[in-house]
Amino acid sequence: MPDITLIIGNKNYSSWSLRPWLYLKHFNIPFDEVRIPLYAEGFKDKVLQHSPSGKVPALKHGNINVWESLAIMEYLAETHPSLKSWPDHPSAKAFARSVSAEMHSGFFALREYLPMNCRKLITNFTPPENALVDIKRVKQIWTECRETYGKQGPWLFGDFTIADCMYAPVVMRFHTYSVELSPLLSDYMQTVKNHTAMMEWIAASKAETEVISSVEFD
């Protein structure tokens, strides 16, 4: 039995849960998964048993508890030092950490108006102005990553890193709401969506039956 357990929300909706889940899957770290559907009966009480913030994701490793998606991945990176979780070069690493933290702490309009909804495809969506500002900034970040640091491979920094996990739910949002992208960024989106772990997550999200009507606003 693996000694790591990841507590997540619904795969269709829980963007924060996707991040460490993808990290664990990509690096083939064995783990047990506990899924607690968001806002369903008893959600808070169940989550509070694992996560003092009352939010998912949370990770249990023996008697250690970690919550907050980025903290979980940093913890896993430290406890699995042979894995290449960040780029090697100091300037690429600094950039990767900065754009990951920027995602973790911002993009409120993008998160509010383009909620992750993996099983949905909306082709006629016009984002409000503040969401367009966020979308423009994500495009700028991805373009700079791919053009400056990503030449050696298909991921933001060439090899797969925590930064790709941080932006994977944004890929799903851009997909669902049919955000227009340059060929460079469309290729990056395909790389993420074609990852076997992402395909597994998307298939599982399609099999879920819970509906959170407050974010189904098409």
CB of 182 to ligand GSH, least distance (A): 28
Q: Looking at beta carbons, which residue is closest to ligand GSH?
A: 55
Query: What span, in angstroms and rounded, lies between the C-alpha atoms of 30 and 147?
Result: 34
Query: 123 is written with which tokens?
Result: 């082709």
Nearer CB in complex with ligand GSH: 54/158: 54
Q: Kindly state the smallest distance separating residue 69's Cβ from ligand GSH, in Å.
A: 4
**Is 12 a binder of ligand GSH (CB under 6 A)?**
no
Q: Which of 55, 60, 175, 195 binds ligand GSH (CB under 6 A)?
A: 55
- Say whether 8 sits in a helix, a strand or coil: strand
Binding ligand GSH (rule: CB under 6 A), the pick from 7, 16, 73, 185 is 16
**C-alpha–C-alpha distance, residues 48 and 46, integer Å:** 6
The nearer residue to ligand GSH, 54 or 154, going by C-beta atoms, is: 54
Residues touching ligand GSH: how many (CB under 6 A)? 14
Cα separation, 164 vs 171, in Å, equals 10
Minimum distance between the CB of residue 55 and ligand GSH, rounded to whole angstroms? 3
What is the rounded distance in angstroms from the CA atom of residue 35 to the CA atom of residue 109?
Answer: 27
CA pair distance 180, 174, nearest whole angstrom: 8
- Rounded to a whole number of angstroms, the minimum distance from the CB of residue 129 to ligand GSH is 24
Instruction: Report d(CA 140, CA 73) in Å as an integer.
Output: 24
Cβ atoms of 116 and 22 closer than 8 Å: no
CA distance 126 to 130: 12
205 near ligand GSH, judged by CB under 6 A: no
Using CB under 6 A, pick the residue from 56, 96, 165, 168 that binds ligand GSH. Answer: 56
Of the two residues 104 and 137, which places its CB atom closer to ligand GSH in the complex? 104
Check residue 107 for interaction with ligand GSH (CB under 6 A). Answer: no
Beta strands in 1-90 (DSSP E): 4-8, 32-35, 58-61, 64-67
Binding positions for ligand GSH, rule: CB under 6 A: 9, 14-17, 38, 54-57, 68-70, 104
